[in-house]
A and B are shown apart, each in its own frame.
Chain A
Amino acid sequence: MTTVITDTARHRVAADVEEWEQLELASFLERTPERRTRFLTGSRRPVERVYTPADVAEMPWEDIGLPGRYPYTRGPYPTMYRGRLWTMRQIAGYGTAADTNARFHYLIAQGQTGLSIDFDMPTLMGYDSDEDMCEGEVGREGVAIDVLDDMMTLFEGIDLEQVSVSMTINPSAWILLAMYVAVAEARGYDLNKLSGTIQNDILKEYIAQKEWVYPIRHSLRIVRDTIVYCAGNMARYNPINISGYHISEAGSSPVQEVAFTMANARAYLAEVVAAGVDIDEFAPRLSFFFVSQADFFEEIAKFRAARRVWAKIVSGEFGARKPESMRLRFHCQTAAATLTKAQPHNNVVRTTLQALSAVLGGAQSLHTNGLDEAYAIPSEFAMKLALRTQQVIAEESGVTNVIDPVGGSYYVEALTNDIEAEVYRYLDVVERMGGTIAAIEQGYFQREIADFAYEYARRRESGDQVVVGINRYVDAPDEEQAIEVHRVDPEVEHRQVEHLRTCRRERDAAEVERSLRELKAAAADHDANLMPTTIAAVKAGASMGEIVHAVEEVFGRYTEAPVI
C-alpha cells in the first residue's frame, strides 16, 4: 500500500494546521464568529472548516487510482468524456403510444442521444387500461401500453439497433422486455445488437417506490429470469438498473441511498449466482441509477464511493475476475424532490448544479428535470431547456476535458472515504438482520427512510434547511410567475381502452389461452425461465394485465404492512 503523502509531509501539514489555528483562525473567530456552530452535508455528516493532506493521509493511493482501473473511483473507463460524452437521456412518455412516439422523434431531432420511457401507472403496476382500478390514470403520468401492437407503435420509425432505449418499469418489466424482443424479432433486428435497459429493480420497490404485484421472493425469481435470459440472448442489454433514485426521492439521505442500493445489488448477485450462472457471465450487464441531490460535493463523492464499493463487493465477496464485472456504470437524474412550485424558474438553476455534480461524478447517462416538475409531467419547452442545460455543460463549460477533476481534492477524497465507510456500516446492519429480504420484511429500510424524511421536513419547516423561494426570499402571492404546463388529453383513456378491445377481438383467443396456460406452468416450476413463455404470450396477443393475472394465480399478491 502506498499512502498519498509521506509521514514527513504529514507531520509538517499537522504542524502548519496547528499554527494556523493559533495565529490566524483564533483571533479571526473572536472578531467574526462563523454562520453556524456546525456544518453538515446533505446526509448530516460533519464538515470540517478546511481539508488538508492530513485528512487523506491514511488512505492508500490505490483507492484513488486511475480511471478505468480497479477500484474505479475515478470512473469506469480510461478516457471518460474525452472519448464519448454521457448519453443525454430525457425520460418521456404520456398518452398513447402514438403520442409518445411523436415526442421521441422531437427529442431525437433536438440532439438527444438515447430514449427513456415513462409508463403510466396501470402499465407500471401491470394492469390493463380497462380495469376499474385504472380509471383516471390511463396515459396520465406516462404512456399506456397494453399489448404488443402498442409497443410496435411506440417505436415506429426508430432504429433500435442505433438508439439505446431505457424503460422505467419494474414489477411488469419482464413483460415489456418480452414485447421489446417481439418488436425486434418482427423487424428482423439482431437481439445481440440491441442496447438499452429495463429498470427491473423490484427490491427497491418494496423499500421506496412501492410498485409491486407479487410477493418478494417470486418477484426476485422473475428478475433472475430476465438477467439469465439477457446473459444468453442480448449481449449489450442491461436487464436491471439497480436504483437509488427512488430511495432518495422517498426521503433517504445520500449515504442511505448508496447503502440500500448496494444491499439490493448484493441480493441480486446472490440470487443469480445461486441459479448457477458464473458472476462474470452477468455482472458486466448490471447497471445502476442514482439521483443527483442538492449537496454539490457530497454528491460527487457519493458517485465515486459507489463505484469503489461495488468494485470491492463484486471482486472481494463474489470473486469476479473480469474488470467489466467490477465497473459500476450509472444513469443519473437530478432530484425532483428538490424542485419547488413557487418561483419555478429557480428550478433551472438547481437542476444545473445537480447535473454538474453528476458529470463531475462520472455519470454514463443523465436526465435533467423540467422546471415544471412540481406541477405536472414536463411541457415540451421545459424538456428542451433541460436538455439544453446538459448540452451547455457538455460543450461549453470545459469540464469534460479532464477526467475526475475533483479527484485529489482533500475534501472530496475525505468525503468519499467517509461515505464508503458508512455504506459498509449499513451493510453490516442488514447482514445482521438476516440479509436484504429479511430487512425489508422487518421494515428496516422503510423506517430509516421515513425517519430521515420526517427530520428533513421538520428542518425545512424551521428554516434550518434553506429552500430559496419557500422558507427564504419568498415572493408575495401576487408576484407568482405563471408557467406553461402539460395538459392531459381527456380522450386518451377512452381511445386506449377502445384500442385494447379491438386488439382482443381480432386475436386468436384459443392461442392466447394456450400461451397463458404454458406461462402458468413455467411460473409453477421455480427452475424454469419465464421469458420464453412470456415472449410467446405477447406474440399471441395476450395483454399485460392478462399475463400478470395469470401468473398471479401461481404467485399470489404482495401486501405491505405500512410503516409510519
Chain B
Amino acid sequence: MTMASQPVRILLAKVGLDGHDRGVKIVARALRDAGMEVVYTGLHRRPEEVVTAAVHEDVDVLGVSILSGAHMTVFPRIIDLLKAQGVFGEILLVGGGVIPDEDVVTLKSMGVADILGQETTPGDVVETVRRLVAQRSPAA
C-alpha cells in the first residue's frame, strides 16, 4: 500500500485503434504538475499490455482514455484482466473520454472507480485521483 507521503503513481493508457490523444496528454501534464508520477503507454495498446504494464509499474491508478466508442468492449476486458492478476481494487481503474451517461452508470456498477468526461477540468482530474486513492480500501 502506498504511504500517504509517497507520490501517487498512475499509468495512463490508450487502448484499441483510437488515436485521440489530446485529452490524455493534458491529463498527464496536469497530474505530473500536481506532483504525481505519471507513465503514459502511448497509442494503440491492447488490454493485456496495459494491465501488465500497470502491475509492472506498481501503480495506484490505471487511467484509460477512449474516444472511439469501444469502451463497453475494452473496460470489461481490462476489469477481467485486473481480477485475474488479483489487483482489481488495489489498482484503481479510471476512465476518460466520450462516454454516454448510461454507459457511465454501467461501468461504475462493474467497478470502474470513476469516469471523467470530456468537460472535466485538469484541476478536477487531479482532485478526483487524489480522493480515490485516499479512499481506497486499506485491505488492498
- Residues on A lying within 8 angstroms of B by beta carbon are 121-122, 124-125, 127, 133-137, 140-141, 205, 209-211, 249-251, 337, 340-342, 374-376, 450, 453-454, 457-458, 460-461, 470, 485, 488, 559-564
Which of B1-9, B16-24, B83-91 makes up part of the contact surface? B16-24
> Chain B's nearest CB lies how many Å from the CB of A167?
18
Give A251 to B29 CA distance when docked, in angstroms: 14
Instruction: Using CB atoms and an 8 Å cutoff, list the residues of chain B in contact with chain A.
Output: 16-22, 25-26, 28-30, 32, 38, 40-44, 46, 68-70, 72-74, 98, 100, 117-119, 121-123
A121 to B26, CA, bound (A): 23
Closest to A135 in B: B73
Residue among A251, A341, A485, A560 making CB contact with B118, cutoff 8 Å: A341
| A141 to B20 alpha-carbon distance, docked (Å) | 13
Taking CB as reference atom, which chain B residue is nearest A246?
Answer: B19
Contact B19–A209 (Cβ < 8 Å): yes
Known: A374-B118, A560-B42. A136 touches B16 (CB 8 A): yes
User: In the complex, are the beta carbons of A249 and B19 less than 8 A apart?
Assistant: no
9 tightest A-B contacts by CB? A136-B73, A210-B19, A136-B70, A121-B17, A461-B121, A562-B42, A564-B28, A140-B69, A457-B26
Cα separation A249 to B21 with both chains bound (whole Å): 10
CB distance from A138 to the nearest CB of B (A): 10
The 18 listed contacts between A and B (C-beta, < 8 Å) are A125-B17, A127-B17, A133-B17, A135-B70, A137-B16, A140-B69, A249-B22, A251-B26, A340-B119, A341-B118, A374-B98, A376-B98, A450-B25, A453-B26, A454-B25, A461-B122, A559-B42, A564-B40
- A residues in contact with B25, CB < 8 Å: 450, 453-454, 563-564
- A337 partner residues in chain B, CB cutoff 8 A: 22
Are the C-beta atoms of A136 and B26 separated by less than 8 Å?
A: no
Whether A470 contacts B70 by the Cβ 8 Å rule is no
> Considering the chains assembled together, what is the distance between the CA atoms of A329 and B20 in angstroms?
27
- Contact of A454 with B29 at beta-carbon distance under 8 Å, contacts A374-B98, A461-B122 already known: yes
B116: min CB distance to chain A, Å: 13
- Give bound CA distance, A470 to B43, whole Å: 29
Give Cα A251 to B22, complex, Å: 7
Interchain CA distance A249-B122 in the complex, whole Å: 18
Bound Cα distance from A375 to B99, whole angstroms: 8
**B71 (CB) vs chain A CBs: closest residue:** A136
**Shortest beta-carbon distance from A371 to chain B in Å:** 15
Residues of chain A lying within 8 A (CB to CB) of residue B117:
341
**CB–CB B17/A134 < 8 A:** yes
**Cα distance A507–B90 when bound, in Å?**
51
Contacts of A140 in B (CB 8 A): 68-70
How far, in Å, is B118 (CB) from chain A's closest CB? 7
A127 neighbours in B (Cβ, 8 Å): 17
B21 lies within 8 A of A210 (CB): yes
User: Which residue of B43, B46, B122 contacts A457 across the interface (Cβ within 8 Å)?
Assistant: B122
List residues of chain A with CB within 8 A of the CB of B41: 562
* Given A136-B73, A454-B29, A562-B41: 13 more A-B contacts, CB < 8 Å: A121-B16, A135-B70, A137-B70, A141-B68, A205-B19, A211-B19, A375-B100, A450-B26, A450-B29, A454-B30, A561-B42, A563-B25, A564-B38
Q: Identify which of B21, B70, B72, B123 gathers the most chain A CB atoms within 10 Å of its CB.
A: B21
Which of A133, A458, A559 touches B122 (beta carbons < 8 Å)?
Answer: A458
CA distance A135 to B46 in the complex (A): 11
Please report the C-alpha to C-alpha distance between residue A134 and residue B18 in the assembled complex, in whole angstroms.
10
- In the bound assembly, the distance between CA atoms of A101 and B46 in angstroms comes to 32
- Minimum Cβ distance to chain B for residue A335 (Å): 13
B70 to chain A, nearest CB (A): 4
Whether A250 pairs with B22 at a CB distance below 8 angstroms is: yes
Query: Which residues in A have their C-beta under 8 angstroms from that of B38?
Result: 564
Which residues from chain A contact B32 at a C-beta distance below 8 Å?
A: 564
Nearest chain A CB to B83's CB is how many angstroms away?
19
